[in-house]
Structure 1
Amino acid sequence: MKNNIKISVICMAGLLALASCSDGFLEDKKNYDNVNSDIYNYYSGCNGRVNDVYSWCLPFSNDMTWKTPSMGNADIAGQSTEEYSGFSDFVNPDIELSSTSTTNQVPDFFMATQSNIQEAVYGRIRNINDVIEGINGGTLSQEQKNTLLGQCYFFRAWCYYNIVKWYGGVPIVTETQDPLVTSVTPRSSTKASIEFILSDLDKAASLLASKTMSGGWSGDDYGRVTTGTAQALKGRVLLLWASPIFNRTNDEGRWTKAYTVMKQEMDSIKACGYGLYQGSGENAQGYANMFTQSAKNPEAVFVTLYNNITGDGLDNQKNNTWEKGIRPKNAGGSGKNASAMLVDMFPMKDGKIPSGTGTYTKLETSDDAYDTETPFVDRDPRFYRTFTFPGFRWAYNGDYSSAVANNPSDGKNFVLWNYVWYTSLDDQGNAESGNSYGADNLLTNKSGVYVRKKTDDLDANGSPLYTFVAADVKGAAPYYSAAPLLEIRFAEVLLNFAEAACGAGHLDEAVAVLKQIRERVGYTGDCGLQANLSSDQAACMSAILYERQIEFAYEGKRFDDMRRWMLFDGGAQKVAGAPASWTLTGWGGNTCTWLGFKPFNGQRRENMEFRVADKYGVGGTTYDSDPMVKVGVTRPAGVDLRKPITDQVAQLATWYKSNLKRKLKKGDGYNAQHVSEYINFRPNYYLLGLCSGAASANKALPQTIGWADYNKSGSAGTFDPLAE
């Protein structure tokens, strides 16, 4: 380890430890180590290095990149699911991703920016290896070393998991290698990569046990990873390995191992203080509040903490951008527009899927009539904490009318009115027209249905975690939010176990978990679960995937679930050049058919908006040209989720019938002839290839089967992620 480098300097990119590269490139970067080794003889110095690992590796609330998984934004992952419309690169029928060209280049989750150490994927792995070596070589007590090393092993596993889930086998680098041309590490098999991740997680769990298995961390250490965090991620990794994407024959042994391990480790996870967050209040208020708990939260198994410090580039300012992202423009945000597909797919109040969706055909449809004109009537309690419609309260602590005079005043009594009007009848009937104007000064800055999930709602949380600033200054204004980001919730721990139990044939245990999840939000009795889930494995697995889709909506989990289960085509399409072992033989050769799930390929997502009824005609382009306001229509009181909801939504529905009309709004694209286009996720996208930049910097690494090899003039890739 070299000396004389400041502690704040970030280490050399780990990609150099596995890549062929030029001597000239190396010559420019002689100082590639990061700290004086003497700091590892002091706990404060070691802890500072571990904190640096956290800063590199914790997820954050921005769009998905190589650095962080999806967190529910309308990013490349979110727009590849039912949650948002708009063709992402993965599902765009007009674009085929390329591994040899920078045009339509396959996303790079393997290397990222070669010339920027902090932007290199293996850079943070090298940083972790450097910390591990430094702590092991220092003079701290073994107990102190164990506490610090356990955290490092967890994050090394976390980094590798986030590559392996995309590529299968990757180079496993466990030492702080010097960036030399000869330092080349080959791609390991996927099985070896998975086993390495599991090994690191076992080390982390063991080393952290004495510190964290009596309720977890407390005080200033709250938010650090624990034995339970490592075991929860281990469950996710085992589930990935058992899933169809890597388990084409449906080897029951993988399911059994996942089930056995998760069941054995459940008590240890609970011993770290984790469990379902309960809370209290009407209409799943506890479900809403779990996302706004800055104090110790049993649901937060793997969490990123934030603060609401305001300022211009302050070093200690770390704000969660989610609240600003979902609030409507007239309350100081930008708004996220939910796809009509997911709105229509959410369960009814009896827990069953609405009739007419045709998505999960092995699940019973609801006996409750679903009126698409008033989609907020009689829905699952989580529905009201996931979406917001015209006529619903969405209180906040502040007053954005002080910044924009025509905005609604008094955030404490804010009611969303985002219905629209058009300036011409031709536009009013045209799904492609964007010439609509939103009520209450939203005008062109409106969404049809707002995503409400994870909001810091003043009606639910009377002590909001954001500092509202009326004037938009640099940073996350006006919502400098300290709401935590929950990457692994205890609900996921349970649903991961339910899925493994189902796959291993323990259907009763899987159903028991589904009941726990639903009881938390107010269901009783059979919780709306059909009787055959304990006897029909396919129906049970379908119910689990549906529950995951609802429970984790807009939390960034759906795209991974769709890839794991190959829900775009059921695994029916063949990858060019793939061996016979890639053919899906388990699940009857098609996961979608087996599950009764309508393949996502060939579908399209639309949006919805609510426009003024025909009798009000058209309006103008200014806030005071609302046709209903001009004729003096009285709005009902906003639906208040603090109170019983049945009568409130019925009254609002009556008002809708008289005054508003649901309008189809273009979601996914049309071609130049205005003909609808449909989702097309290619079969080779399930397991990604190295993009041209990553391949160029790593000439010794073979390309994935199904992708052209940039280093071999575009010849077919040879690395098999499914070979053991």
Structure 2
Amino acid sequence: MKKIAFYIISILLLSGCSKVLDYPNLSRYEPDLVWNDPNLANAYLGNIYDRAFGNWNIGLDAQSEQLTGISFSVPVTTTNPGALSIDWGTNYTQIRLINQGIISTNSGALSQDVKNRLLGQLYFLRAYAYFGLVKTYGGVPYIKIPQDRDTDSLNVPRNSTRECFEFMVADLDSAIGLLPRRVVASSADWGRIDGNFAHAFKAKVLLYKASPQFNPSNPWNNNFWADAYTQNKKAYDSLKAQGYALIGDYAQIALSERNAEVVFSVTNLFPNKVAAWDNGARPGSLSRGPASTTPTWEMVKSFPMKDGKKYNDVSGKYYTADTLQAYWLNRDPRFEKSVVWNAKLYPAAGTTSGYRQYTSVGVADALDSYGINPKSSTTSQNNNRYSGFFILKNSNLSLTQAQVQQYDVDYVVMRFAEVMLNYAEAANETAHTDDALAILKQIRQRAGIEPGADGNYGITANTREQVRQAIMDERNVELCFEGHRFNDLRRWRLFSLLHGKNKTGVEAIAINADKTEMPLTTARQMALNNQLTESNFVYRLQVTPQTGVTVNTLPETYYFAPIQQSVIAAANKIEQNKEWGGTFDPTIH
């Protein structure tokens, strides 16, 4: 067996510590040593963990309408699949390492208990890796033996999409049978996959299997919904019985690490492992450079009002005809915990007491400004990436500007709110609409939305179709900026919400009490003293970006990515997807 290069994180291997992620950088290993030593076997596993789940990424939802940026600015091709695809070779390298781990664990001299724990994690990780490929391409070669890049042929046909789902479920069932039921927050093993995460992820996989993406001819009445409901209910009931729950404060879902809502998270710890969240989310004047992306007006409009009604619902308690000029008032409390808007109080460490964040060009710091006010002597350089808003959700405002690159909040891969919403979706599609509505009410109750006289938290949906839309809308808000929206739109076959559409920002222009425009010299001085509030501005919509390509291109053919032509050229048994000139049907048929 050849020596395989791999990389780990910490410095504790030789001291005998057995934590998955606490191992030094090693350039090579001897298989006969690794699979007879639990520490070395865990080090090998730690390398796979490090690549499997990613970390906080401020741009995870930039492909959707939640954040600025045109991810699909040019047509996707088989030679350049761009943002639609994930890297084929990188994923199969990960799978090769997992398969090697499974084979070697079984053949090594480790105790059976150690073997079971290793194998449980490896089976899960294999299903997790294939899930990323299948939701992108449809069926792929589901390889279960370690392919050697130098001697083994990688030129194997694709398994059908149905087979891939069956294999993923089988791997997850194997994992569930071997893993401990729960790794508690106080355990030294926190950060390892446990049975609860495997159960919840299996439920998610089955939700995808039933989805319109894979069943376009029968999107909502196919037989797979029954399995999705059974598994999602089982996962929800089991986790709830063990104490998983929505925590009280939505603002703390990640910042309060290892809380009752966290199903699985990746451990970060400065200085060994940090993430670029605050350094991409914060206004540029309080960070190490301009914000990477910002929330759109389309996302802002998605947040309901305090009574749970839509912002433009004339029957709402807080409805106002001039919605743009008072957009920040009386909104769902998740809005103020997720988004920074012009003149909002923003108590970042190192700022003065009562600091307000401004975005108006000519008023705000140049690194924060957005807009085209012709009366400004300076031109904003941010109009192609900014929107007049910034991300607040999951920001650690206790970090000073000098510390923003020290962000080490644990990355939440799955939380109980997602488990609940997955269950609600499957329940609604299988004639359990009352259960789905009960879940939505719990989500909104925790959010702080008013229950109303009827106790429905502003929910008026009662038919299957209406509740489906309510679940889609709730996911958009509850899980915003966490990387779910694009995948949701893809599995629901709703790229029509993105295709040919602009994204929009909101420009703020300072005004006097009589509504005339305030001289910018006056406005700037008042802003420096934090004296301008939201009502001291008038608001105008602007398309963002303002130059170049300003609309997304996501036609129906984009629900599955093409396999890159270079992959097919090197492996002629791999068929291209039929939407891209090939013969392979990526749906379930």
- Give the TM-score band, short-chain normalised: 0.7 to 0.9
* Paired residues of 1:420 and 1:612 also in contact (CA < 8 A): no
Residues 284-433 of structure 1: pairs in structure 2 closer than 5 A: 286-294=249-257, 296-309=258-271, 317-333=272-288, 334-335=290-291, 336-355=293-312, 368-369=319-320, 371-397=323-349, 399=350, 409-410=351-352, 414-421=355-362, 427-428=372-373
Q: Deviations over 1:481-535 (max 9, x none)?
A: 11111121110000000000001111000000001111112233524343442xx
Pick the aligned partner of 1:238 from 197, 203, 206.
206
| Residue of structure 2 equivalent to 1:549 | 476
1:54 corresponding residue in structure 2: 49
**Aligned residue in 1 for 2:586:** 721
55, 58, 65: which is aligned to 1:82? 65
Q: Give a deviation string over 1:355-408, Cα, whole Å, max 9, x none.
A: 179xxxxxx8666226211211010010101111233222233x3xxxxxxxxx
Instruction: Give the drift of 1:469.
Output: 6.4
Counterpart-to-counterpart distance in 1, 2:545 and 2:588? 37
Contact persistence 2:214–2:588 (CA under 8 A): no
In angstroms, what is the RMSD of aligned CA positions? 3.2
Cα displacement (A) at 1:191: 0.7
2:13 matched to which residue of 1? none
- Check 1:190–1:110 CA distance in 2 against 1; reply closer, same or farther (3 A cut): farther
Report runs of 4+ in structure 1 exceeding 6 Å deviation. Answer: 442-446, 631-634
Q: What percentage of residue pairs aligned between the two structures are identical?
A: 29
Write the distance in 2 (CA, Å) between the matches of 1:664 and 1:388. Answer: 17
Of 80, 88, 97, the residue aligned with 1:111 is: 88
In structure 1, distance between residues paired with 2:416 and 2:56: 19
> Aligned pair in 2 of structure 1 residues 417, 43: CA closer, same or farther (>3 Å)?
same
Cα 1:413/1:355, change in 2 over 3 Å: closer
8 Å contact kept, 1:288–1:455: no
Offset at 1:60?
A: 1.4
- Distance of 2:475 and 2:383 partners within structure 1: 35
**What does the per-residue CA deviation read over 1:584-631, in whole Å, with 9 as the maximum and x for residues that have no partner?**
xxxxxxxxxxxxxxx443432211121223745665xxxxxx432458
CA distance 1:632–1:662, change in 2 (3 Å): closer
Amino acid at match of 2:357: L
Q: Does 1:608 align with 2:506?
A: yes
Is the partner of 2:166 in helix, strand or coil?
helix
Contact 2:306 2:318 in 1 (8 A): no
SS at match of 1:170: coil
**Take 1:631 and 1:191, find their aligned partners in 2: how far apart are those partners?**
63
Q: What is the alpha-carbon distance in structure 2 between the residues aligned to residue 719 and residue 171 of structure 1?
A: 12
**Per-residue CA shift, 1:207-241, capped at 9, x if unaligned?**
11xx334x636332112111111111111111111
Aligned 8 A contact 2:264 2:414 in 1 = yes
- Give matches, 1:468-617, under 5 Å: 468=400, 470=402, 477-523=403-449, 524=451, 526-533=455-462, 536-569=463-496, 599-613=497-511, 615-616=516-517
Change in CA separation of 1:611 and 1:445 when aligned onto 2, cut-off 3 Å: farther
**For residues 252 and 367 of structure 1, do their structure 2 counterparts lie closer, same or farther at Cα, with a shift above 3 Å needed?**
farther
2:84, 2:30 → 1: CA distance? 33
Aligned pairs for 1:164-243 (under 5 A) are 164-179=134-149, 180=151, 182-208=153-179, 211-213=180-182, 216=184, 218-243=186-211
Amino acid at match of 1:481: Y
Counterpart of 2:116 in 1: which secondary structure? helix
2-side partners of 1:87 and 1:8: how far apart? 34
Partner of 1:277: 247
One-letter identity of the residue aligned with 1:419:
S
Secondary structure (helix, strand or coil) at the match of 1:292 reads coil
Residues of 2 paired with 1:153 and 1:692: CA distance? 30
Q: Which AA in structure 2 matches 1:299? A: E
Matches of residues 603-682 of structure 1 in structure 2 within 5 Å? 603-613=501-511, 615-616=516-517, 619=520, 626-630=521-525, 635-636=530-531, 652-653=533-534, 656=535, 659-668=536-545, 678-682=551-555
| Residue of structure 1 in register with 2:563 after alignment | 690
How many Å separate the matches in 2 of 1:354 and 1:173?
A: 50
- 1:264 Cα deviation from its structure 2 partner: 2.2
C-alpha separation in 2, matches of 1:434 and 1:203: 65
1:98 aligns with 2:38: no
CA apart distance, 1:152: 1.1
Q: CA deviation at 1:183?
A: 4.6
1:681 CA drift (Å): 1.1
Partners of 2:550 and 2:531 lie apart in 1 by 39
Q: Distance in 2 between matches of 1:9 and 1:612?
A: 53
Q: Alignment partner of 2:406: what SS?
A: strand
Kept in 2, the 8 Å contact 1:421–1:612? The answer is no
Q: 1:700 to 1:375 in 2, by over 3 A?
A: same
Distance 2:84 2:301 in 1: 31
Cα distance between partner residues in 1 of 2:280 and 2:117: 37
Q: Determine the C-alpha separation between the residues in 1 that align with 2:527 and 2:123.
A: 64
Contact kept in structure 2, 1:85 and 1:668, CA below 8 Å: yes
Q: Distance in 1 between matches of 2:283 and 2:554?
A: 32
Contact map agreement 2:75 2:553 (CA 8 A) in 1: no
Distance in 1 (alpha carbons) for counterparts of 2:39 and 2:199: 27
The alignment partner of 1:661 has SS state of: strand
Gapped regions of structure 2 (runs ≥ 5)? 10-26
Question: 2 CA distance for matches of 1:218 and 1:34?
Answer: 32
The number of aligned residues is 554
Secondary structure at 1:664 match in 2: strand
CA distance in 2, matches of 1:484, 1:197: 27
Check the 8 A contact 2:490/2:559 in 1, yes or no.
Answer: yes
Which letter maps to 2:67? Answer: Y
Residue in structure 2 matched with residue 463 of structure 1 by the alignment: none
Structural mapping, 1:441-452, within 5 Å: 448-452=388-392
Question: What is the alpha-carbon distance in structure 2 between the residues aligned to residue 694 and residue 366 of structure 1?
Answer: 57
In structure 2, give the amino acid aligned to 1:326: A
Deviation at 1:444, TM superposition (A): 12
Separation in 2, partners of 1:96, 1:268: 45
TM score, norm. by length of structure 2: 0.86
Q: 1:325-346 CA distances to partner (integer Å, 9 max, x unpaired)? A: 1111222243332211111231
Structure 1 residue 698: Cα displacement: 2.5
1:552-574 CA distance string (max 9 Å, x none): 111110001111111123xxxxx
One-letter amino acid matched to 2:54 = P
The equivalent position to 2:235 in structure 1, one of 265, 273, 277, is 265
Summarize the Cα distance change of 1:105–1:306 in structure 2 as closer, same or farther, 3 Å threshold: closer
